[in-house]
A and B are shown apart, each in its own frame.
Chain A
Amino acid sequence: MRKIRSRLIIIAILAVTSVWALMPRNVTQRVVDSATGRMKDTTVREVPINFGLDLRGGIHLALEVDQSRGAVPDPAEAIRRAERVVRTRINEFGTKEPVVQIFGNNRLIVELPGEQDPARAKGIIQRTAFLEFRITDMKHQFRDALPVIDQALRAAGVHAAGAAPASAVSQLFGGDTTKKGNGKAAGPDTSQNKAGALSALLFQGQSGVAGEFLVPEEQVPAAESLLARPDVQRLIPRGLDLKWSTEVTSLGARAYRAVYAVEDKPIITGEELEKATARRDQMTNQSIVEFTLSRRGGRVFERETGRHVNDFMAIILDGRVQGTPPIIKSQIGQRGQIELGSKTLQDANDLALVLRAGALPAPLVIIEERTIGPSLGQDAIADGIKAGIAGVVLVVAIMIGYYRFAGLLAVLALVLYALYTLGGLAGFGFTLTLPGLAGFVLSIGIAVDANVLIFERIREELAAGKSVRTAMDQGFARAMNAIVDSNVCAILTALFLFQFGTGPVKGFAVMLILGVLASMVTAIFVTRTFFLIWLERRPTMETLSI
């Protein structure tokens, strides 16, 4: 009995984990607001299964470095630069969960679920990267203009929304906030006052970078739309621009995105940059990015940095600030270095990649393109569900019709099998594709096969005159070899399919692997447990309904 209980506990833990993985949860989506045409975030409740592009519609693009107009020296490096650039533009796509990844060593895969306009997507991806260095708002002109902007917004009928968490957040910033509170009353952190619509969204960070404001991640769209208003634009001090960061920083339990007030003219652009490499300085143990400018660029940079010693310099790629703006320590000529302090070499490499991406844009050529309309995927899902239900009904009928009570137990195990497989799919974050649906239906067959092998073995043992208990034990034990061997072979094939396949076929392989694993667990372990319970209930059983 104790053995059965521990078995039941394991089955229950697996089931609960699967159910938990499949629980509908809130997902934040970036969608195009039909009223304004701008991006906004909405929250939807849905089952956390990733549907592939073939099921939910969208655009799949594969790109390579264009070598038709002259050879590119290092295509693998070029594709890394391109990936970095496309990644910074990811928000422009305005789709949920875009995928940008390097495939092989010189191919870039971009997947945009839900997107339907390939021309627009290609335009965003193939646009030449633009890198610039700009000085941040050293005179705090934007901060000083905030009360006026708030006032204008109030006059226009826009009031602070969701100011409640502001007081909680302000504590996170400790001394910085108090200092500022004592100093300039017009500071952006006005949670203690009657908050203005814009300033309620902006918080001062700890980094001490002039012109930097932090916005809670979930309020970024609200802040963006406020800043885009024409009346606000007019009030932003002349000579300043606002640029968002690509990075999200977490402070305490909340995520913030930085927005920087920067000068509207760059001191230098990527065209003047010739080289950028990352290294770790042995003496100071700092991560460092070294860069070299062209001779002309060096002259300009020397003049500009001379004027801006002790100012912060934002590194902006395609309109997005990369990393925290470094401070200019001294006049810099043709060669300079950015010291990243305790940041990892990985971060330094990334920054060097950003600089190179802006200096040497990689021309990309599209080698594969798929656009799938949303209606097609919905039809496919509907068909798949229909086929799945019909298939399951048939399997249930055959199993119960042929194996009677034992068949019923197998069907119960099959329910758990389906739950485990789908739970695994959601839990490990794999993608469900159309061939994946077929793989799922196929794997139901594999799951049934394992049960059939066991039941036939038990029948043979019974026919050989063994007692019910012995027949059952030996049936499970002897069927094991065949089940393991055949399933290992199935997994081996699926692994190669996974390795060499792309998108949809990968989905098929994943479903097959998950299905085979789940079927081993259910056929060998779960069905056995059900049999044990059955025997426990009726210890004197002479015949088995099998």
Chain B
Amino acid sequence: MRRLFTNTTFDFIGVRRYAYILTAAFFLPGLVLLLVRGLNYGIEFTGGTLVQVESKAPIAAASLRHALDAHGLTGAEIQSFGSDREYVIRARMGGDEGKIEDSEATVAAVRASLDATLQPGQYEIVRHEAVGPKVGGELRQKALLATLLSFAAILVYLAIRFEWRFGLAAIGATAHDVLGTIMFISLMRLEVSLVIVGAVLSVLGLSLNETVIIFDRVRENEHKRLKLDLRAILNLSINETLPRTVLTHGTTLSTMATLAIFGGEVIRPFAFVMFFGVFTGIFSSMFIAPVVLMYIRQRWPVEGGARVAPTGAKRPAPAAVRAPRVGADGD
């Protein structure tokens, strides 16, 4: 029987300070980056025109740029799409008055530029998209709404299946991952397309899945081992589910790697984001969700739940002695 990471006794809760440092080290610059640079929204969110060109002969990006400038497409972005025979040209719309009819002019200008740089018939426009600014704005709203509503639904579900404390802790860890993934997207300058939104929501599901599986074990151990305090139960549960975590994510990472290598240009960013998401998902489920749960339990103790040992160097507050309050006989 081949076994990995069985019967480990890592102290996950004990190293939480390092986890804080790691999170802060990523989040602080990440937030700054996100605020300063923002996200590179695709035209489906901003509105605009996209033309994808495939040519038989290689094109130099500089000469394409030059030709586009000459035909009045000065603001257009040029991005090579996998090779120097394929390019994506994006022209964003200015303001709310941008009209989709302008996209016809954009395509015509692209054609004219290509005719100038290449022989006619040597290239093909394989994709052409034009999105009005209104649609783009709506899409952004909907992506946000989908994320928030799924958070709410999951909170309700976990509150019913476990109890609200677990739900809140799971949401906290998942929010950490979603935010971290968005920073990663900003850091990598990935274009935010619908596929990327799908990837972010998959990371959400994946991270939540990880947390739920650990919490499921916590719930079980709490019933089984009444003598342990919460910290020990959390550590035990994470350690017990460790082999599964390693194996499952090993396979997920390998399938995402195959997507990144073979999946083509449209899917590759998806695989990148998922790759990052797997790591942050594991991290938050092991180091963030249990700690958050512990703090929540400290703040709002559960009747009959595992005792929460005081965390950190703080000593327990000395027992108070005071006169009985009036009308508090029943306590």
A: which residues have CB within 8 A of B?
54, 62, 118-119, 365-373, 375-376, 379-380, 383-384, 386-387, 390-391, 394-395, 398-399, 401-402, 404, 434-435, 437-439, 441-442, 444-445, 448-449, 452-453, 456, 459-460, 463, 478, 481-482, 485-486, 488-490, 492-497, 499-502, 504-505, 508-509, 512, 546
Q: List 12 A-B contacts (CB under 8 A).
A: A62-B135, A368-B132, A373-B126, A384-B264, A442-B252, A449-B244, A485-B216, A489-B205, A492-B153, A497-B201, A500-B146, A508-B198
Residues of B within 8 A of A452 (CB): 244, 247-248, 251
A445-B248 in contact (CB<8A) = yes
B264-A448 in contact (CB<8A) = no
Residues of B within 8 A of A504 (CB): 194-195
Name the distance in Å between A67's Cβ and chain B's nearest Cβ: 12
**A493 is contacted by which of B125, B201, B264 (Cβ under 8 Å)?**
B201
Name the distance in Å between A313's Cβ and chain B's nearest Cβ: 40
Residues of A within 8 A of B250 (CB): 398
0/1 string, B255-297, CB within 8 A of A gives 1: 1011101111011001100100000000000000000000000
> Given A372-B127, A387-B261, A501-B194: A482 and B267 within 8 A (CB)?
no
Judge if B154 is at the interface, Cβ distance under 8 Å. Answer: yes
> Given A367-B134, A370-B129: A493 and B205 within 8 A (CB)?
yes
Q: How far is the CA of A367 from the CA of B138 in the complex (A)?
A: 12
Q: How far is the CA of A1 from the CA of B205 in the complex (A)?
A: 39
Name A's interface SS: helix
Residues of B within 8 A of A118 (CB): 128
B255-A441 in contact (CB<8A) = yes
**A375 is contacted by which of B2, B124, B263 (Cβ under 8 Å)?**
B124
Judge if B172 is at the interface, Cβ distance under 8 Å. Answer: no
**B126 is contacted by which of A372, A395, A401, A496 (Cβ under 8 Å)?**
A372
Residues of A within 8 A of B132 (CB): 366-368
Q: How far is the CA of A541 from the CA of B129 in the complex (A)?
A: 62
Q: How far is the CA of A495 from the CA of B204 in the complex (A)?
A: 13
**A383 is contacted by which of B2, B212, B267 (Cβ under 8 Å)?**
B267
B130-A492 in contact (CB<8A) = no
Q: How far is the CA of A391 from the CA of B260 in the complex (A)?
A: 11
A463 to B, closest residue via Cβ: B6
**B264 is contacted by which of A383, A391, A399, A456 (Cβ under 8 Å)?**
A383
B240-A496 in contact (CB<8A) = no
Chain B, 186-239, CB within 8 A of any chain A CB: 194-195, 197-198, 201-202, 204-205, 208-209, 212-213, 216-217, 220
Name the distance in Å between A147's Cβ and chain B's nearest Cβ: 52
B263-A489 in contact (CB<8A) = no
> Given A370-B129, A456-B244, A499-B146: A383 and B262 within 8 A (CB)?
yes
Q: How far is the CA of A368 from the CA of B47 in the complex (A)?
A: 9
> Given A379-B264, A448-B251, A500-B145: A373 and B154 within 8 A (CB)?
no
A453-B1 in contact (CB<8A) = no
A445 to B, closest residue via Cβ: B252
A373-B267 in contact (CB<8A) = no
B244-A453 in contact (CB<8A) = yes
**A387 is contacted by which of B3, B263, B274 (Cβ under 8 Å)?**
B263
Q: Which of B54, B143, B205, B274 is packed against the most chain A CB atoms within 10 Å? A: B205
Q: How far is the CA of A370 from the CA of B267 in the complex (A)?
A: 18
Name the distance in Å between A337's Cβ and chain B's nearest Cβ: 41
Q: How far is the CA of A500 from the CA of B150 in the complex (A)?
A: 11
B126-A438 in contact (CB<8A) = no
Name the distance in Å between B270's Cβ and chain A's nearest Cβ: 5
> Given A372-B127, A375-B126, A497-B201: A435 and B270 within 8 A (CB)?
yes
Q: How far is the CA of A425 from the CA of B280 in the complex (A)?
A: 32
Residues of A within 8 A of B258 (CB): 387, 390-391, 394, 441
B100-A448 in contact (CB<8A) = no
Q: How far is the CA of A463 from the CA of B41 in the complex (A)?
A: 52
Q: Which of B158, B216, B240, B257 is packed against the most chain A CB atoms within 10 Å? A: B216
0/1 string, B19-42, CB within 8 A of A gives 1: 000000000000000000000000
